[in-house]
Amino acid sequence: MDQQFSVITKGSLDEIWGLATHPTQNKFLSGALDSIVTERNMDDNTINWSIKVLKGGVQSVCYSPDGEVVLVGTTSGTLIVYNASDQELLLEKQAGSEPLQVVQFSPDGSLLAVGSRDNDVYLYETEDDFRKYKLRGTCSGHSSFIRSLDFSSDGSVLRTNSGDYELLFWQTSDCTQDTNSSELRDTEWATRTCLLCFENFGVWPKGVDGTDLNAVAGAHNKDLVVTADDFGQVNLFGGKTHFAYAGHKRYRGHSSHVTNVAFSYDDEKVLSVGGSDCSIFQWKLSDE
């Protein structure tokens, strides 16, 4: 026992809900309800760094568009901003008092959307290379907690899903709800994380309710979609999924509900994180 020891790997002690992949490199963030945020390397599965958040458990995480800043949404409603290189604390900002379910930047990085369990989306303008944030407005209209959100490719529109299965649209210029959804049917979306939308209609299997699917993600440059469900499965869809019961492949490994999924920046790998099993799985995509 006199020898020096080094940590090979370190797991989580509670459910993992936060997951985000780096925009240009093979590394990713995970955040758990045990208040730990960890960055890992996908190439050798080593831990780059790990920090403990002091403002509650970790509900959501994301990188800034340049990968230089890390944002953490906590269960206490605190948005925390860190420098990615040395984990220096840059900012703490309160966004309500409920857990922050999702944090996401607009495609050009000028806006940050924070979806809360208090049913609102807080929209911020970014400043000082993603180190400061000014509240532009609040998107209020959902009757349940915010579950997921996507920006349009030009950043002018936001779509949101809630816990009671609503799909609403918002103009990011003034945070007003856009009720003319038919006029948005041809909108191109920068991401594909809303389970309840036209594009993802076919990812819902027969006989499930709205709580059985926990997350969805679309590949960046490939026609692939992956979902996480309550049955411990990661489901991969190829081609279009706008029609009912789209064909897919199921992959098992998790021993409990899968909470989140994400593609690597180059779409070569998929990350999935678990609830009660507190596990992180890395999947390699193949042509087979």
Every domain of the chain and the residues it spans: 61-71+96-189
What does the pLDDT read at residue 1? 65
What's the rounded Cα separation, in Å, for the pair 27 and 10?
Answer: 16
Q: Which of 53, 83, 57, 89 is nearest to 70 (CA)?
A: 83
pTM for this prediction: 0.94
17: its two tokens: 């809900």
What does the pLDDT read at residue 208? 87
Q: Which of 89, 92, 88, 101 is nearest to 57 (CA)?
A: 101
The CATH topology of domain 61-71+96-189 is: Lipocalin (2.40.128)
Report the 10 Å Cβ neighbour count for 66. 12
What does the pLDDT read at residue 176? 97
Q: Identify any residues that bridge with 27 across adjacent strands, giving them in sequence order.
A: 41
Q: Which of 165, 162, 259 is nearest to 210 (CA)?
A: 165
What does the pLDDT read at residue 193? 97
User: Residue 138: is it exposed, middle or buried by C-beta count within 10 angstroms (0-12/13-18/19+)?
Assistant: middle
∠ Cα 52 256 264 (to 5°): 60
∠ Cα 71 253 227 (to 5°): 55
CA distances from 142 to 39, 147, 161, 162 (A): 33, 11, 9, 7
pLDDT in tens, the chain (288 residues): 678 887 778 889 999 999 999 999 999 999 999 999 999 999 999 999 999 998 999 999 999 999 999 999 999 999 999 999 999 999 999 999 999 999 999 999 999 999 999 999 999 999 999 999 999 999 999 999 999 999 999 999 999 999 999 999 999 999 999 999 889 989 999 999 999 999 999 999 998 888 899 999 999 999 999 999 999 999 999 978 999 999 999 999 999 999 999 999 999 999 999 999 999 999 999 876
